[in-house]
Structure 1
Amino acid sequence: MELQPQSLPTTPAVPEAVPSRPLLSRPIATIQLIVFSIIGIGMFFIPFTINEKSTILFDHAATYLVGEQRSFAVFLLFLLMIYGVGKPLVTGKWKQSITDGVLTLAKLIGLVLAVLYVSGMAPDVIMQKDMMPFLFEKLALPVGMIVPIGALILAFLIGFGLLEMIGVVMQPIMKPIWRTPGASAIDAVASFVGSYSVGLLITNRVYLQQQYSAREAIIIATGFSTVSAAFMVIVAKTLELMPFWNLFFWSTLVITFVVTAITARIPPISFADDTGSKRDDTLGEGKRLATAIDLGIETSRRATDKKEIFWTNFRDGLEMAAAIVPSILAVGLAGLLLDKYTPTFDILGLLLYPFTFISGMGEPLEAAKGMSAGLAEMFLPALLLSKADLLTRYVAGVVSISSILFFSAMIPCILATKIPLSVPKMLIIWFERTVFSILLAAAFGHLAITLGWML
């Protein structure tokens, strides 16, 4: 199902749809909305204990594949990587721009590294346990399994009306807090529970239709387009935060959006052109709730082709995993080598050191170095700080998600849109987001540890 945030209703009446097939009856659609939303919430947010391990259900499924069916999982992973490398070569996308060429080369290098690792032919310098073995076994393999499974489960949350309901309910707070239209709530939720690529596609499309001003598009692209919840599971697993999954997920969501509210009010974003900003129509709270429910049910009524909804989400997950896994291996290894053999992140980390120091982390300089690596690849803080103290690991996890901008994927994706953002401006925004994320996450982390929420 294609999201159309620009058509989010601002009046109680829900627009008539012209479906290609008969609509479900309202009672059946209501039941479908309720049941599928409960299933999605249950699979994503309720931990279950299986074999003495407590985690969410789709993580159990991915863990089973990686642990008990490793050969099959490795086979599937290579199919994904071959597809991810081959697609831009076959379609010619690799030569559309320098960015596409560099990303395709990174994927190709990642595939070669995976072959060398599995065949045992990789050089000793990258076969150390904290290099390729860690990247492949603890990151690439779980990502390859979790992202498609997570995308399939996400269909329950975003395919049957719950997403649209949240969008309407969120309208009154979007403009006052984040300086964006109510319709951008769809972007925010779609990005956080779906993927940044989905969020960016929506944002770019709506911006080109002149429904967002330049400043609003920049706020949404740099403030809401996070990595998906499925990727958050990988970060949490790497940092051993899965025992606190709900605390980690919800606090990260809140911190990410609080940071967005701050950066929307300071340069360079506050200086961006706001011409064309549209004012939302107002709805009374009773009417708003009724509108949200009506839109959710109407969306559910149109969701008659369940196979197509689930397949579309699963296919998107496959596409994302195929694109990101080989890049993770290439960029991740480059980052680890830079960290181990060069002063690159030592120098960059000095910019963040004052903030990790006042945040009370155990080894503030090491924490600053690790978190600065997030500019290259969002997973690197988790990789580099996986053995740190609990507070540092928690802050690193939040920063991995909340900083949003990184060179291995997000920044090139934004450059491929028409959103008016240059690399220098994105670097400034990354620094601002990282600093505020460190301060807020550390403050909450101290509180959570003191109150016994994280032990």
Structure 2
Amino acid sequence: MFGSQSWEDDDHISGETVTPTVKSINEVHFVDKGLHSTLKFIVAFATGAFFFLFPVQWEGQTTIPLDVLMTLITDTSVFAVEVFTLLVLFAGGILTTISMLHYQGTIALSERARRLVEVDYWQTSKLFWTFRVTAMFLGVMMFFGVGPSWLLGDAVGGIAWDVLMITIVLVIPLGGIFVNLLAELGGLEFIGTLAQPIMRPLFDLPGRSALDSAASWLGSFSIGYYLTRNVFDRGGYNKRDVFVICTCFATANLGTVGAVAAVLDLLDIFPILVLLYLIATLIVAVVLVRVPPLSTVPEEYVAEPDPEPMFTGTPTDYLRFAFNEGVRTAREGESIPRAALNGFVDGTKLTAMILGTVLTIGTCVLALEAYTPFFEYLAAPLVPVMTALGIPDPQMAATAILAGAGEYFIGATLVVKADLVTKVFVVVVTSAQAIFFAASLPMMVDMFDDIPMRIRDLTALLILRTVLLIPIAAVLTHGAVTIGLI
């Protein structure tokens, strides 16, 4: 499993002789910045950052503007939000069914219908197809309050529908609006370019990989995978680059971390959560890129190698270059209203894709947690570790971390009633795990089958990440408490 021969392919191009050119950053052509393009970048960047990271006072609490927007919507009509949730749930199940029946040859769609339905987007495995269809029935029962008492009770349906579903269906589409302003109108390039000087020495990655990482953090891991796949196909990344980027940097995005923070009533310290989670992610990446299995992946290319030039320059040069790239992207991008609309549409599509899986797996996990000792037995070896690290509610924390490896949102639901320190600790660990059996793992296996990424290797990486994250997250959480950040 850990040998380099596991990933080697005679048809692929060895990267042993590939050497990037070195030039000064001052040799880069800087675009002429018009007032309109500059203001467009600044407004889009400031708006996106404001809604996610700017603390505001609301009803006696410190929170972020995104939480205020969600509260205003739910206060206006919870029923409308529940109806929207059910519609999104059904859209995901129906469109997945159409896609799967098309690819199985059961139905034949015209070219126009394939484009309209976007069959490639909804294609998945038979298991996740089952999850999405099952969720349609669960959603109907929970929405109308019809079904067995164990399902509709507070411990299962009360969390799965009233908390988890309602939160996800608001946070991700609304968050998509502001994420897209950052991702499509220059924020992605600005943040990524500033990070380039640290990517090679710390992670042995091309500077351009900062853009993929920022795409995952600002958009979603699926966006990060998509960007990585495109660059890989053009020879910009080798196999090792791809494996490292996907398993170390395509972690939970700001929108989903925000959703979990909302579920746990932690939006008042959301910027602190993001800071702790990013620090933990970077520390783990520094370690994992230097040990198997990541260190044994060969530097092979599937296309003619196109290595990134090595730049040199002062911090001021990089800041000037980053601003230049941000303005360039904003100038070439769509208008701010169009980018916002596209973000909402993309966020709603992503919600429709994951909502059924989250509801089905979440219901099963919550039922197991509420009515059986399954997770208590499974988490038992971790409980002494949690206790030794000074984490309150050690059993709850250990159970949540293991459940979070199945589906990111589920781990959070298990610590809804836990101590504040436990909530923060669990959010940091689960947000940075990167590999989830309900979504990211099967997507990586399917999208990068020519590396190949295999379930056994990804499982080994998940275990390694979790083992490293537990003590790191504990130290960061206790540190934040000590200096009064939480």
TM-score by length of 1: 0.90
Cα distance in 1, alignment partners of residues 294 and 245 from structure 2: 11
Q: Are 1:34 and 2:42 counterparts?
A: yes
Please list the CA deviations of residues 321-370 of structure 1 after superposition, one character each: whole Å capped at 9, or x if unmatched: 11112211101011122334445433442454454233121343432122
Helix, strand or coil for the counterpart of 1:301? helix
- 2:148 maps to which residue? 123
Question: Aligned partners of 2:459 and 2:409: how far apart in 1?
Answer: 18
Which residue of the partner structure matches residue 246 of structure 2? 221
Matched, 1:232 2:261: no
- 1:16 to partner: Cα distance: 9.8
Question: Deviations along 1:260-284, whole A, 9 cap, x unmatched?
Answer: 2221112211121123584641221
**Alignment match, 1:148:** 173
1:78 is displaced (CA, Å) by 1.6
Distance 1:397 1:353 in 2: 17
Question: Match of 1:174, as an amino acid?
Answer: M
Q: Does 1:311 align with 2:341?
A: yes
1:449 aligned partner: 481
Q: Which residue of 2 aligns with 1:185?
A: 210
- The structure 2 residue matched to 1:283, chosen from 312, 316, 338, is 312
Instruction: Report the Cα distance in structure 2 between the residues aligned to 1:263 and 1:426, rounded to whole angstroms.
Output: 13
Distance of 1:76 and 1:441 partners within structure 2: 36
In the alignment, which residue of structure 2 is the partner of 1:68?
A: 76
Please name the residue that 2:323 is paired with.
293
Is contact 2:380-2:395 (8 Å) kept? yes
Q: Distance in 1 between matches of 2:186 and 2:46?
A: 12
**Alignment length, in residue pairs?**
440
1:135 aligns with 2:160: yes
Moved more, 95-104 or 404-413: 95-104
Displacement, 1:217?
0.6
2:419 equivalent to 1:389:
yes
CA drift at 1:93: 6.8
> CA separation of 1:66/1:213 partners in 2, compared to 1, >3 Å: closer, same or farther?
same
Q: Which residue, 290, 294, 297 being the options, matches 1:265?
A: 290
CA distance in 2, matches of 1:420, 1:374: 25
CA 1:199–1:98 in 2, change beyond 3 Å: closer, same or farther? closer
- Give the CA RMSD over aligned residues: 2.4
- Please report how far the alpha carbon of residue 13 of structure 1 lies from its aligned counterpart in structure 2 after TM superposition: 5.7
Q: Does the alignment pair 1:204 with 2:229?
A: yes
| Mapped pair 1:59 → 2:67 | yes
Instruction: Answer yes or no: is the 8 Å Cα contact 1:13–1:291 preserved in 2.
Output: no
Contact kept, 8 Å, 1:196 with 1:228, in 2: the verdict is: yes
CA distance in 2, matches of 1:400, 1:452: 23
- Structure 2 residue identity aligned to 1:122: G
My pick for the range that moved more, 294-303 or 269-278, is 269-278
Q: Which is worse superposed, 167-176 or 25-34? A: 25-34
Task: Give distance in 2, aligned partners of 1:415 and 1:266.
Answer: 21
Q: Cα–Cα, structure 1 residues 301 and 130, in superposed 2: closer, same or farther, change >3 Å?
A: same
Higher mean displacement: 256-265 or 93-102? 93-102
**Structure 1, 257-266 or 145-154: larger mean CA deviation:** 257-266
Q: Is the 8 A contact 1:110 1:326 kept in 2?
A: yes
CA contact (8 A) 1:63 1:142 kept: no
Provide the rounded CA distance (Å) in 2 between the counterparts of 1:402 and 1:117: 31
Q: Per the alignment, in what secondary structure is the counterpart of residue 121 of structure 1?
A: coil
CA distance in 1, matches of 2:89, 2:352: 5
Give yes or no for contact 1:65–1:72 (8 Å, CA) kept in 2: no
- Residue type of the alignment partner of 1:153: F
Q: Aligned to 1:106, what secondary structure does the other structure show?
A: helix
**Residue aligned with 1:182, SS:** coil
Output the CA distance in 2 between the equivalents of 1:345 and 1:87.
Answer: 33
Deviations, residues 378-429 of structure 1 (Å, cap 9, x unaligned) = 1122111222222211111111210111111111111121242211111111
Which deviates further from its counterpart, 318-327 or 33-42?
33-42
Which SS does the other structure have where 1:54 is aligned? strand
Q: Report what 2:275 is aligned to.
A: 250
What SS does the aligned partner of 1:379 have?
Answer: helix
Structure 2 residues not aligned, in runs of 5+: 1-22, 105-121
Q: Give the conservation status (yes or no) of the 8 Å contact 2:248–2:434.
A: yes
SS at match of 1:227: coil
Q: Distance in 2 between matches of 1:10 and 1:159?
A: 27
Deviation at 1:12, TM superposition (A): 4.5
CA 1:16–1:242 in 2, change beyond 3 Å: closer, same or farther?
closer
Aligned 8 A contact 1:33 1:160 in 2:
yes
- Residue 134 (structure 2) aligns with: 109
**2:467 matched to which residue of 1?**
435
Is the 1:192–1:229 Cα contact (8 Å) retained in structure 2?
yes
Q: 2:190 aligns with which of 128, 142, 165?
A: 165
* Alpha-carbon offset, residue 47 of structure 1: 2.2
Change (3 A) 1:93 1:397: farther
Instruction: Give 1:376-415 correspondences, 5 Å limit.
Output: 376-415=406-445
2: distance between equivalents of 1:172 and 1:453? 29
Match of 1:5 in 2: none
Q: Contact 1:29–1:297 (CA<8 Å) still a contact in 2?
A: yes
- Three-state SS of the structure 1 residue aligned to 2:287 is helix
**Counterpart AA for 2:60:** E
**2:320 counterpart letter in structure 1:** A
Distance 2:100 2:41 in 1: 41
2:236–2:308 contact (8 Å) kept in structure 1: no
In structure 1, list runs of 5 or more residues that go unmatched. 1-8, 18-23
Distance apart, 1:99 and its partner CA: 5.1
Separation in 1, partners of 2:347, 2:27: 34
Q: Work out whether residues 177 and 344 of structure 2, in 8 Å CA contact, stay in contact via their aligned partners in 1.
A: yes
Q: Distance in 2 between matches of 1:199 and 1:86?
A: 26
2:259 and 2:317 mapped to 1: Cα distance? 40
Counterpart in 2 of 1:4? Answer: none
- Residues 1:10 and 1:233: Cα distance change in structure 2 (over 3 Å): farther
1:80 to 82, 85, 88: 88
